[in-house]
Amino acid sequence: MYCPNCGVKLEEGGKKCPLCLAELPPSEKGKGRSFYPDLPRPRQKEDFRGLLFLITLFFLIAGGCVLALDLIQHRTVTYSVTVLTILLLFYAAFCLPRWWRRPNPVIFLPVVFCCLMGALLYQDLRTGGGWFLSFALPVLGGFFLFLEAAVTLLEYVRGGRLYIFGGFFLAIGVLFFVSELLYRATFSMPICLTYSILPLILFCTLGMGLIVIAIVPPFRRYFERRFFF
Amino acid sequence: MARNQREKMWLRLDNAAKIFPASMRRGWSNVFRLSATLREPVKPTFLAEAARRACKRYPSVCVRLKRGLFWYYLEETGAPLPKEEGCQPLYPMTRAEMGKCALRILYYENRIAVEFFHALTDGTGGMTFLKTLVLCYLEVRYGKAFPRGEAIPDPDGAATPEELEDAFLRYAGKNAVPRDPSPAFRLQGKPESDGFLHVTCATVPVKEILALARNKGVSLTALLSASFAYCIAKLQREKVSPEREKAVRVQIPVNLRRFFPSSTVRNFVAVVNVGLEKGETDADFDEILSLVHHQMALLITPRNLKATFTANVKSEKGVVIRLVPLFLKNIVMRAVFDRVGESSACLCLSNLGQVVLPEDMAEQVTRFDFIIGPQAMAPYNCGVVSYGGEIRISVVRNTREPELERVLFPFLSSLGLDLTLESNER
């Protein structure tokens, strides 16, 4: 065949003339075998490092400004600690992992946990609250421990997702129960259960439900068919 | 648990290969592709079995790229699973992919294609691998042995030390020639936003083009190089003012096995630059042809080629260079590559020559294609291979407008060649 626009001799099967880029007439399209398969090109991951550098710079300047203002106003650190804590947590959670092409959550979760614990410990010591060791550390430590365990299993164990999520929800339900007990003990309140009952029941039911689905194959097949994604 | 597996073989990169991992960048790596088209559609299960045999035969080709403290090295790996071709040939190979296997085996309808990271082998070694892969495929497909003649090594034999050697080291001499760093004209264009690679393949009867070359008293490579130089010089005149004109050179890889006997399947190739220096770019085609012909005669001699690769071997052997950590080496080598390797020529014209197959195999294989990826900083490159009475000139580009193709192919037609074009234009 020949290009109807520039007249160059072409093999059958092309979409456009390679020289004048004219569309080949519909009657000629699809005739013969195409030179290469006609598939969409997979998207490449964009490089956001330039943007990340700017964001990091913004965080540093913002933190520095807040600290400087606080020092000028009060001659000591007051509200700037809270602002810096929020900035640090936000940066550690959302920006820091993006420096790596494939950030590993197993590594970055403890980083966020350490930042949070450091900030809470500072607040506890500054205010003399006495709640860090008896309440904040066990409750948040437990939460991050369960989260880390779940994330590690999801990252490195093939399959068993229903068991992992089921176990995680069960642990979170129990953690609500423990957190209320610790809260009441820390602040010398009468020991009884109020706000933790509903989450305990909800999470434990959800966790048990997932484990039952995982154990019983007909259930699993039914839910797979209904909720596959 | 009993360990029956033997230890995986590892290899130092050969002298020519050392530059390729260092010069890699995001979205670009030095990759080339060879493909064979069969009479019948390719069956992936048979191809997977054939790939296992071929990869076992060539352990230096089926490897992955690993980082050492001072150098990169290659480590033997299992045969890659053949995949159906995607949207475009030579889709950029990432470091992560090379860390698993720096070789791709692909199929599409009747075609078997292999994409090699250039650090593994050169065009000749790659063609040996592809021919073995096709032989293995045909044997598995038809359940019978195909006579392989002398063109293809025994696919069930073991790799010989000669096949695995770095032949540069064996043949390096004492005298080295300095490299020519003067910059050449750089073809430019608006890059494709998604990095799409356009491939335009011109098919010409070998008899016709050989007759033309003989008529002009030059070789086929000289004829094509001169045509490219003439067309690029023409483009330069249109785009650049005379004061800012630069040299127009075409880089020609030379298979060193022709001059220095070796059966290595690793890189054993040297490049020479031919074309027009600054101030000569208004020469007519016959002048350019004569110039290129004589340049090739002058440069492609065993003595000059030896001196060319001796310069590279000497720089590899320096004690200071060897002791520098890899990340620093990479920075220096990439700067050298950008300054000397690429900028001294407008494009690379790699002519693989004629592919010869045993008669029984030739009945089953209808065509061969050879594509080399574009340069890192310039959009064009060209691979040439001939088989079955036809020569295929595959021009690749990663820009939108086919500026060079628009000049080159009509020019080749005007020389009296009967060109048929095909492309992957979308």
Phi, then psi, of B390 in degrees rounded to 5: -130, 145
**pLDDT value at residue B92:** 84
**pLDDT value at residue B78:** 85
**pLDDT value at residue B220:** 95
- When pLDDT is averaged across residues B398-424 and rounded to a whole number, the result is 92
**pLDDT value at residue A26:** 64
Residue A173 exposure: Cα atoms within 13 Å on the Cβ side = 18
**pLDDT value at residue B206:** 95
> Chain A closest CA to B420's CA: distance in Å?
5
| Shortest CA distance from A47: residue in chain B | B26
Contact: B27, A17; criterion CB under 8 Å: no
Look at residue B321 and tell me whether its pLDDT is greater than 90.
no
**pLDDT value at residue A32:** 54
* Most confident segment among A168-172, A190-194, B243-247: A168-172
Enter the tokens of residue A160.
Answer: 């068993």
Contact: A18, B423; criterion CB under 8 Å: yes
Domains and CATH numbers, chain B: 12-143 (3.30.559.10), 198-423 (3.30.559.30)
Q: Does some domain include residue A164?
A: yes
Chain B residue numbers touching A5 (CB-CB < 8 A): none
Look at residue A227 and tell me whether its pLDDT is greater than 80.
no
Based on the structure, what is the number of domains in chain A? 2
Q: Does some domain include residue A191?
A: yes
Look at residue B213 and tell me whether its pLDDT is greater than 60.
yes
- When pLDDT is averaged across residues B21-32 and rounded to a whole number, the result is 86
A40 touches chain B (CB under 8 A): yes
Kindly indicate the confidence band of residue B339, based on its pLDDT and cuts at 50, 70 and 90: confident
- When pLDDT is averaged across residues A46-67 and rounded to a whole number, the result is 87
B402 touches chain A (CB under 8 A): yes
Q: What is the DSSP string of A90-139?
A: HIIIIIGGGGSSS--HHHHHHHHHHHHHHHHHHHHHHHT---IIIIIHHH
Kindly report the average pLDDT of chain B as a whole number. 89
Could you report the per-residue pLDDT of B287-305, keeping only the tens digit for each?
Answer: 999 999 999 999 999 999 9
Q: Does some domain include residue A13?
A: yes
- What angle (nearest 5°) sits at the alpha carbon of residue B50, between those of residues B46 and B55? 150
**pLDDT value at residue A46:** 65
Contact: A19, B409; criterion CB under 8 Å: yes
Q: Does some domain include residue A186?
A: yes
Chain B residue numbers touching A20 (CB-CB < 8 A): 406
**pLDDT value at residue B208:** 93
Look at residue B378 and tell me whether its pLDDT is greater than 60.
yes
Residue B386 host element (H or E):
strand B380-387
Look at residue B251 and tell me whether its pLDDT is greater than 90.
yes
A45 touches chain B (CB under 8 A): no
Contact: B109, A33; criterion CB under 8 Å: yes
Contact: B198, A10; criterion CB under 8 Å: no
Q: What is residue A74's three-state secondary structure?
A: helix
- CA torsion sign for B229, B310, B328, B266 is positive
**pLDDT value at residue A130:** 84
Given a contact cutoff of 8 angstroms between Cβ atoms, the answer to whether B29 and B117 are in contact is: yes
Q: Does some domain include residue A206?
A: yes
**pLDDT value at residue A44:** 59
Among A35, A34, A37, A16, smallest CA distance to B369 is for A35
Sheet arrangement for strand B103-108: B83-84, B103-108, B111-117, B31-38, B365-372
B419 touches chain A (CB under 8 A): yes
Look at residue B401 and tell me whether its pLDDT is greater than 60.
yes
Percent of residues, chain B, with pLDDT higher than 70: 98
- Integer-rounded Cα Rg, in Å, for chain A is 29
Kindly indicate the confidence band of residue B137, based on its pLDDT and cuts at 50, 70 and 90: very high
Q: Does some domain include residue A58?
A: no
Percent of residues, chain A, with pLDDT higher than 70: 90
- When pLDDT is averaged across residues A52-70 and rounded to a whole number, the result is 91
Q: Which amino acid is at B377?
A: M
**pLDDT value at residue A189:** 84
**pLDDT value at residue B340:** 74
Q: Does some domain include residue A126?
A: no
Look at residue B393 and tell me whether its pLDDT is greater than 90.
yes
**pLDDT value at residue A225:** 67
**pLDDT value at residue A81:** 84
Look at residue A59 and tell me whether its pLDDT is greater than 80.
yes
Kindly report the average pLDDT of chain A as a whole number. 85
**pLDDT value at residue B180:** 66
Task: For residue A16, give the nearest of B91, B199, B425 by CB distance.
Answer: B425
C-alpha distances in angstroms, B283 versus B230, B233, B246, B343? 8, 9, 14, 22
Contact: A35, B109; criterion CB under 8 Å: no
Look at residue A186 and tell me whether its pLDDT is greater than 70.
yes
Could you report the per-residue pLDDT of B45-81, keeping only the tens digit for each?
Answer: 999 999 999 999 999 999 999 888 888 889 999 899 9
**pLDDT value at residue B1:** 38
In whole angstroms, give the CA distance from residue A117 to residue A78.
18
Kindly indicate the confidence band of residue A126, based on its pLDDT and cuts at 50, 70 and 90: confident
A2 lies in which domain range? 1-31
Could you tell me how far CA A90 lies from the centroid of its own chain? 12
Could you report the per-residue pLDDT of A143-162, keeping only the tens digit for each?
Answer: 999 999 999 998 888 778 88
Could you report the per-residue pLDDT of B260-286, keeping only the tens digit for each?
Answer: 999 999 999 999 999 998 888 788 999
**pLDDT value at residue B128:** 94
Kindly indicate the confidence band of residue B355, based on its pLDDT and cuts at 50, 70 and 90: very high
Could you report the per-residue pLDDT of B88-136, keeping only the tens digit for each?
Answer: 888 888 888 899 999 999 999 899 999 999 999 999 999 999 999 999 9
Enter the tokens of residue A168.
Answer: 């995680």
Q: Does some domain include residue A215?
A: yes
Higher pLDDT residue, B192 or A201?
A: A201
Percent of residues, chain B, with pLDDT higher than 90: 57
Hey, what long-range contacts does B209-217 have (CB within 8 A, 24 or more apart)?
B209/B391, B209/B417, B212/B415, B212/B416, B212/B417, B216/B286, B216/B289, B217/B293
Higher pLDDT residue, B321 or B349?
A: B349
Look at residue A20 and tell me whether its pLDDT is greater than 50.
yes
Contact: B424, A8; criterion CB under 8 Å: no
**pLDDT value at residue B4:** 47
Enter the tokens of residue B399.
Answer: 């820009």
**pLDDT value at residue B2:** 40
